[in-house]
Amino acid sequence: MRKHWIARAALCLCALALLLPFAAAFAEFPAPRETVLESVPDFGGLNGRHVVIRYGERDALGRCTAATAVLGPELRQGEERADIADFRPTGLHNAAYGFIRDRWVYNRCHLIGRQLGGADELNNLFTGTHALNHSLMLPRENEIAAYIRKTGNHVFYRVTPLYDGDNLLCSAVLLEAESAEDAGAGLRFCVLLPNSEPGVAIDYATGYTTRADDWESGGTAAGSHAYVVNTRTGKFHAADCPDAGNISRRNRRERTGLRSDLIREGLTPCGKCRP
């Protein structure tokens, strides 16, 4: 079991290393593409005859971790779509851009997609770009769903969000899948999907974004953001935090600046909006 986890950690590190050239090529803003990894997914210990979905516990920073599943024909899509608008996965500082089809750069993405039986709960939701959700994850989920429909077989599946250090927004997600009954002959993949959006510069530490061309011309530093400070408590909030709206006018001060500067001044980030 221990060995299994060491192998998993090594795989995640390799995956992150693969992302580095992507970060360096940031200025060109290519449409995000998946990277196919050679590694064979390891689903040791899972029984491929019974459907199950296990969501990882969120970590100390509140970030969701890997979800692992055995998917199969008996798994049904959750009936009612829960209202997930109130969920705040880490790094969710949404912004609208005219050149994105649905305007908003971020979606509340399911680790295990709803069509695969994934639940509308916080441990299954992370902040992902529109491009990651629609152009990269969805086709892979469709592939799995189609395989199950066609064969009636089961599929081992794991989705792992990969964070660089203490970043609140994951840089990528690792998708691993292997069909159970035919030991991967019918379906097997291990792919790395970047959490990026063409034309948008992302600060992965916080999740704040800015237009890529602003970033290039130095117009808006990605690290500089609008905050609301409560001068009575010394807490600062993201501008869209509901708590920021409740601060009395006397104690409310709006600030634009670097998060690190506010912390240096002795202010503390709100625990809810995690600005």
Binding site for Zn ion (CB under 5 A): 237, 241, 243, 270, 272-273
Least distance to Zn ion from the beta carbon of 273, Å? Answer: 3
β-partners of residue 249 are none
Q: Which lies closer to Zn ion via its Cβ, residue 164 or residue 243? A: 243
Least distance to Zn ion from the beta carbon of 74, Å? Answer: 42
**First-to-last C-alpha distance (Å) of the chain:** 37
Q: Which lies closer to Zn ion via its Cβ, residue 120 or residue 243? A: 243
| DSSP element (H, E) containing 155 | strand 155-162
Least distance to Zn ion from the beta carbon of 111, Å? Answer: 25
Q: Which lies closer to Zn ion via its Cβ, residue 112 or residue 241? A: 241
**Quick one: CA torsion of 88, 64, 261, 230, rounded to 10 degrees?**
30
Q: Which lies closer to Zn ion via its Cβ, residue 124 or residue 230? A: 230
Least distance to Zn ion from the beta carbon of 222, Å? Answer: 20
Q: Which lies closer to Zn ion via its Cβ, residue 37 or residue 228? A: 228
Report the alpha-carbon distance of residue 121 to residue 89 in Å, rounded.
10
The count of other CB atoms within 10 Å of the CB of residue 268 is 11
Q: Which lies closer to Zn ion via its Cβ, residue 47 or residue 233? A: 233
- Asked if residue 184 lies in contact with residue 198, where contact means CB atoms within 8 angstroms, the answer is no
Q: Which amino acid is at 186?
A: G
Least distance to Zn ion from the beta carbon of 206, Å? Answer: 13
Report the alpha-carbon distance of residue 183 to residue 180 in Å, rounded.
5
Tokens 């912390």 correspond to 263
Instruction: Give the count of alpha carbons within 13 A of 29, CB side only.
Output: 12
Least distance to Zn ion from the beta carbon of 217, Å? Answer: 30
